[in-house]
Structure 1
């Protein structure tokens, strides 16, 4: 037993009311070392707290109401000055994702479910420079795509003129919609050479023939907890891969293709239309899904950006 109980000690139920927390929460915070009771009855295990601990308990409640994870709460209570920066960044990213989801929802409300024109195209194989990046899940696709693109373009150069290779204007990739589709990469590319004009480009790859740069995002058809995304750059005559990029061949074949015109963060709507088109016609699909970036977003308004979305189809036996 406690013997002579300190008059300043409060039983857990009374302290819970004072701190505006539940008894269950207080027990959990004790178990993880976040808020220890002032005293524990050795015989009964009953917890007692001091009124002075209420400020800490209320601070925990405040931080939790702001969606601060418990480990970060502990860092804040221990005096870490920058512990909340990652939480702020996470909340800002979630807010941006919600805004993009709202924009897609408003487009569906205005125009209905997407019914994009889909066609079957056949494309040749291309020699490409390619970088892969591991994504920790659907919500990590944007970061992984942006990282891969940055590393890829930084290592590209033209054999005859090392200073004339493509460069990344900005790659502020951002997740679109609810993260359910792999066609999400808001990866905004530019090049040291002029991008191929939309009128001269189609899903079959006319941009290659015109000599314009062509960046292609590659995403799994089925998403899991962790997976690879990749960004490929078509190697024209005289272009070489450097840095971390490896030279590979992007297979040709038959694709269900559609052209997305508009912001990158709404490509998932076009992906939905292509997937639905394939499902209705029972076309067996395989990955990876391709996003062929045609427009230069440094010079093109978001509503006029052109991206070809292409889903490989299984060859008929």
Structure 2
């Protein structure tokens, strides 16, 4: 048998927690010396301790842990529960990392307020282009809503193109439309040179030409695009234009290699209000 201190070391928990688990009846010691009151534990009790701690890490209350332990879950059942929790935690870490990148991007935009360069903005005509695309709806145009929607669309699109024997003929192009309220329709597209066909499990459409567009090359991930968008906004206002709809995002070099080298062209259709 092991003293409570040694058992705590072996189980990687505190003596205080072992005393608490004893007090609530979750893990009583195997033996208590009647004269000294010292608690002693067996190696076999590590199995219950491991399950207890694992279930707590799943987010269960101690009362819920008691019910699960009393039901004597199998190793396979417990492994399944822990695997699910592990996946949830990893997803939370990814979401937190994305949120951190967005906060950093906003901070950079704030730091550059009033000093955002507009010299790189080019006004040009954008020709019509044919794309294959998949579509989904995001809760809003915010990056926290758009990112999780558009990111899985591109792997799905390229897999479907491969099955159909269709090769891309140019860049990826993302477009957006209002869907009512804050919701936004997200189109993940890529240039192709094929005709629409009812046999395809993707849509083939022609994006119309933009007679006049304010364009800017953004470098880096789209999590860091706020400063570029705000530079275009400042230019549009300064030159008396009006923006028409959402920007097109043309992925000139995206998703491969160092993210700092990724290149996206932002294309915003603009018009001059009458009388100006």
TM-score of the two chains, using structure 1 as the length reference: 0.52
Q: Show the counterpart of 1:91.
A: 92
Cα-to-partner distance string for 1:69-94 (whole Å, 9 max, x where unaligned): xxx75897574835644652453133
Q: How does 1:45-64 map to 2 (within 5 A)?
A: none
Further displaced range: 212-221 or 249-258: 212-221
Call closer, same or farther: CA 1:223–1:140 in 2, change over 3 Å: farther
- Deviation per CA, 1:291-310, whole angstroms, max 9, x where unpaired? 10111542x43222221011
* Residues 1:294 and 2:252 are matched in the alignment: yes
CA contact (8 A) 1:119 1:257 kept: yes
Aligned-partner Cα distance in 1 for 2:237–2:112: 22
Aligned counterparts, 1:160-309, within 5 A: 162=165, 165-166=167-168, 213-220=170-177, 225-236=182-193, 243-253=200-210, 254-295=212-253, 297-298=255-256, 300-309=257-266
Relative distance call for 1:109 and 1:313 in structure 2 (3 A) is: closer
Q: Does 1:151 align with 2:133?
A: no
Q: 1:115 aligns with which of 109, 114, 117?
A: 117
> Structure 1: any 5+ residue segments left out of the alignment?
1-50, 54-65, 167-211
State how far apart, in whole Å, the 2-side matches of 1:154 and 1:224 are.
32
Aligned match of 2:42: none
Tell me the distance in 1 between the aligned counterparts of 2:96 and 2:163: 40
Pick aligned residue for 1:128 from 126, 131, 136: 131
Unpaired segments ≥5 residues, structure 2: 1-22, 26-56, 69-77
CA contact (8 A) 1:76 1:84 kept: no
Q: Tell me the CA shift for residue 142 of structure 1.
A: 1.1
Q: Distance in 1 between matches of 2:85 and 2:255?
A: 33
In our comparison, the structure showing a higher alpha carbon Rg is 2
Distance 1:305 1:85, change over 3 A: same
- Residue 242 of structure 2 aligns to a residue whose secondary structure is coil
Structure 1 CA distance for aligned equivalents of residues 267 and 149 of structure 2: 20
Contact 2:215 2:268 in 1 (8 A): yes
Q: Equivalents in 2 of 1:221, 1:285: separation in Å?
A: 15
Choose between structure 1 and 2: higher helix proportion.
2
* Distance of 1:155 and 1:243 partners within structure 2: 8
Q: Which residue of 2 aligns with 1:192?
A: none
Residue of structure 2 aligned with 1:310, choices 262, 267, 274:
267
Distance 2:124 2:180 in 1: 25
Deviation of 1:96 after TM superposition, in Å, equals 0.6
TM-score w.r.t. the length of structure 2 is 0.58
Q: 1:76 to 1:225 in 2, by over 3 A?
A: farther
Matched, 1:141 2:146: yes
Mapped partners of 2:64, 2:227: distance in 1: 41
- Kept in 2, the 8 Å contact 1:158–1:240? The answer is no
Q: 1:98 to 1:158 in 2, by over 3 A?
A: closer
Bigger fraction of residues in strand: 2
- Within 1, Cα distance between the matches of 2:267 and 2:134? 19
